[in-house]
Structure 1
Amino acid sequence: MPKIIDHDQRRREIVAVAKKLIIQGGFEAATMRSIVAEAGYANGALKRYFPSKDSIVAATFQSVLAEMNERIAADETPADPREALRHDVEATLPLDTYRIDSARVLLALWEHSMANEELAALYRAHLQDWRGRLAERIAAARGADESADAPAVTHLAQEVIAVAIGASVTSLMFPDGALIPEYRAYVDRLMQKITD
């Protein structure tokens, strides 16, 4: 009887290998040859799932963005709007080794997306969704009957995104997590600022 292959699982495994290689050696380390060798597949088998490096890169990018969204949705969202906002902000900051590694992958993929319009469009859409979700959380947390598109709210949402992206980049220089207390202190300051 032929072996039943879970093709979706194979794709996830290949993406995990690409991510691991990017974490270890940057974007250049994730060649088709190195992915095949690390995954233990024949080159032809890899091409069945991903016809090119760009297709693996796109899937890896989508995987990292999906993981960020899953972290936000992973726990039950707190009922208190301020705690819900805190939860969402903390989910996007590099507050553990796993998220610092994810930041390394994102940085490599951001650079690659500058020359790949499909990836750039994917990330722009992610940023728009992220900004909208944050603006809704901020408006609710402020409790001032402001809409999510009020200038003060959108300004704070942009600030959080800029800090999260900057923290992700900076964390790569401190992969031991030395900056985690600073990022947590930022969240505390942000929550104070929301009520001012």
Structure 2
Amino acid sequence: MPKIIDHDQRRREIVAVAKKLIIQGGFEAATMRSIVTEAGFANGALKRYFPSKDSIVAATFQSVLAEMNERTGEHDPSLDPKEALRHDIEATLPLDTYRIDSARVLLALWEHSVANEDLASLYRDHLREWRRRLAERIAEARGKGEPADASAVTTLAGEVIGMSIGANVTCVMFPDGALIPEHRAYVDRLMTNIVG
């Protein structure tokens, strides 16, 4: 009886290997050859799942962004709006080893996306959706009856996104988590600024 192969699982395994290699050695470390070797595939087997390095990069980028979206969406529905906003902000920050590693992957992929319009478009769409969801959370948490597209709300959403991206960039230089207390303190100040 032939062995049944879960092709989606194989794709996830390949993406996990690509992430691991990027974390260890940057974007250049994730070559087709190194991915094949690390994943334990025969030469040529990788192309069945991903025809090029760009396709692996795109899948890896999507995977990291999807994880962030999952973290922001997985909160207790009984949280009050302020607690839900704090949860969503903290979910995008490098507050543990796993998210610091994810930031390393994102940083490498951001750089690559500058020269790849498909990846750049993917990330721009992610930023737009992130800003939209965040503005909704902020408007709800402020409790002033403001619409999510009010100038004050969208400005605050932009500040949160800028802080999060900055935290993800700087944490790459401090992979030991030394900046985690600083990031947590900034969330406290940000929450005070947003909701008083």
Q: TM-score range by the shorter chain?
A: over 0.9
The residue that corresponds to 1:123 in the other structure is 123
Letter in 2 for 1:73: G
Deviation at 1:78, TM superposition (A): 4.2
SS at match of 1:145: coil
CA–CA distance in structure 1, aligned partners of residues 25 and 132 of structure 2: 34
Letter in 1 for 2:22: I
Deviation at 1:43, TM superposition (A): 2.2
CA–CA distance in structure 1, aligned partners of residues 170 and 101 of structure 2: 12
- The answer to whether 1:62 aligns with 2:78 is no
Deviation at 1:45, TM superposition (A): 1.1
Contact 1:135 1:148 in 2 (8 A): yes
The residue that corresponds to 2:75 in the other structure is 75
CA–CA distance in structure 2, aligned partners of residues 77 and 10 of structure 1: 34
CA–CA distance in structure 2, aligned partners of residues 81 and 110 of structure 1: 31
Deviation at 1:75, TM superposition (A): 3.2
User: C-alpha offsets along residues 10-36 of structure 1, whole Å, 9 cap, x if unaligned?
Assistant: 000000000000000000000000000
Structure 2 CA distance for partners of 1:51 and 1:165, relative to 1, 3 Å: same
- The answer to whether 1:146 aligns with 2:146 is yes
Structure 1 unmatched runs, 5+: none
> What percentage of aligned pairs have identical amino acids?
81
Letter in 2 for 1:151: S
CA–CA distance in structure 2, aligned partners of residues 48 and 33 of structure 1: 14
CA–CA distance in structure 1, aligned partners of residues 143 and 14 of structure 2: 45
The residue that corresponds to 2:185 in the other structure is 185
CA–CA distance in structure 1, aligned partners of residues 186 and 78 of structure 2: 20
The residue that corresponds to 2:49 in the other structure is 49
What's the C-alpha RMSD, in Å, of the aligned pairs? 0.8
SS at match of 2:44: helix
The residue that corresponds to 2:24 in the other structure is 24
Letter in 1 for 2:2: P
Runs of 4 or more, structure 1, over 6 Å off, are: none
SS at match of 2:45: helix
CA–CA distance in structure 1, aligned partners of residues 40 and 78 of structure 2: 43
CA–CA distance in structure 2, aligned partners of residues 167 and 77 of structure 1: 27
CA–CA distance in structure 2, aligned partners of residues 78 and 179 of structure 1: 30
Contact 1:64 1:102 in 2 (8 A): yes
The residue that corresponds to 2:91 in the other structure is 91
CA–CA distance in structure 1, aligned partners of residues 77 and 105 of structure 2: 27
Letter in 2 for 1:191: M
TM-score normalized by the length of structure 1: 0.98
Number of paired residues?
Answer: 196
CA–CA distance in structure 1, aligned partners of residues 106 and 195 of structure 2: 32
Contact 2:75 2:84 in 1 (8 A): no
- Which piece of structure 1 moves more, 92-101 or 67-76? 67-76
Structure 2 CA distance for partners of 1:162 and 1:194, relative to 1, 3 Å: same
Deviation at 1:191, TM superposition (A): 1.1
